Chain A
Amino acid sequence: MRINRPLAFLVALLFTAVVVVGAFGTSWNTVSELPQNPADQSNIEGIGMLIFTHYVAPFEILSIVLLASLVGAIYMAKGEGNK
């Protein structure tokens, strides 16, 4: 089946329009001013705290997933011929 590029372009454009219009049309409930901490510009510490406290279980699961995919990817990429 041939791919209809103009149609794909149109659909992509349509989608963009929908999303952008939607994004513009929504009144986002955001903070009025970005928090500024001149002393420490980075928030790495905060992220690290979150990952290892609140999100520790997903983190651990993610590590297992990564490991599994790593093993799987290596196994498949290695192929059967190189046994």
Chain B
Amino acid sequence: MLPVASLLILVPLIFAAVTFFTKTKDQAAGLAFLGSLATLGLTLDAYLNFDSSTAAMQFFESIEWIPSLGANYSVGIDGISMPLILLNAIVIPFLILYSWKEEREAPNRFYGLILTMQAAVIGVFVALDFMVFYIFWELTLIPLFFMVNIWGGEKRVHASYKFFIYTHVASLIMLLGIFGLFYASWQQTGVPTFDIRELVAQFQFLGSGLLRNAIFLSIIFGFLAKLPTFPFHSWLPDAYTEAPTAGSVLFILLKIGGYGLFRISLPMLPNTGNPKLMIMLLGFLGAFSILYGSLVALRQKDLKRMIAYSSLSHMGYVLLGSAGLVTLSVSGAMFQQFSHGLIMSILFMSAGVIQSSTGTRIINNLGGLAKKMPRLTVIMMIGFMASLGLPGLTGFIAEFLVLAFSYVNLPGFVLLALLAIVITAGYYLWAMQRAMFGVYNEKLGDVRDINSLQVFSMGVIALLVLYFGLNPNPVLNMMITSSEAIVSLAAALGV
């Protein structure tokens, strides 16, 4: 059998390397598209061979790397990572198609970076060793940094540095936590290991509650800043807004924060010194992020910034669902990651189209675009509706699972989050009304509707949003299996 997990990293990486050496735009985009298609093929192969009835690791590979430190190159796929890999593999080809016709400098580097990013993110998802995990984790910074720094908007330099330094500092704190875990476990067992599952299992045997709290908090800090969640989100609006459309979508696909939460933090959570306190903390941050993101989005004048804050609001569901610690709430949180990736891709692509065709993103300067861009309007409407949680689209399933089942443990926070639902609808509809409906703003000149490649790429993602909204089972079942394993751990400890 193929070593799928490794190939999923290697294929995009190799294609990325070759793409860097192409000369023309079409060559670069074509090659990158080919690479992403190959990745998609591999992913589908993995998905079809995936057994969603078990929470065990599948497609497992392990090679000894640094024996003296117990670091191995070990990778594998399970129900937590499979949907996220799937998400990445699905969206990237359409992202490349979407941006094919755009004019820009150095297309070879642009598409090369997209593929590098894909490799890095998938690397994080399949890594089962903290060394490998951290290396890929940091690798994701590089393409994003250049994406923003080279092809971004006006304040791109500031935004890129802010993003880079902020999340890098958070990652370093996480690294500190990882080392703490590593050394503490080494002391405990006498055998050094960087194996994620082994270390997470060791966590409960470690020294004092204070130490466990410190390790837990420093590791989760890295995840929370990457997710991001209130109050560690201030890199997000700048970076999302200044990034080129493809960059924004790559940011959206950067689901490593939430992934780390499920893979590492949640299994550790019940064993911390004060699990109740930690749950309250996470629940509060999640619920407050939901409310906060939507209220701040309400006041944004820039379409892309509004979507960025809405993204923050959505990420709150991931945290709230995780803190809920009920099987279905955790799977809801996982599904929210998946659904958010699809929905926000549509929204950022739409905002990108609006900016490139009208030259502005300020909502009040737009108006009546529905008349000139009917196809965009339909797709954008699907995106907006999915994002505000309309049933039948993916957003609803995730939000319902999170809210309904987190309520079992965290009723107060869920009620807080529910307040945000109306507000979310408010800013989306407001934006829709101002930008798309009403009388056409003649100052915008002659705008053209989206080209057929864009219709195709956005349309397919919109159809997926609809499909997974009607039938979430293809990804939800494996999430439920995995989250059952996580939650049973917590239940065993009576949390």
Q: Do chains A and B touch in the complex (CB under 8 A)?
A: no
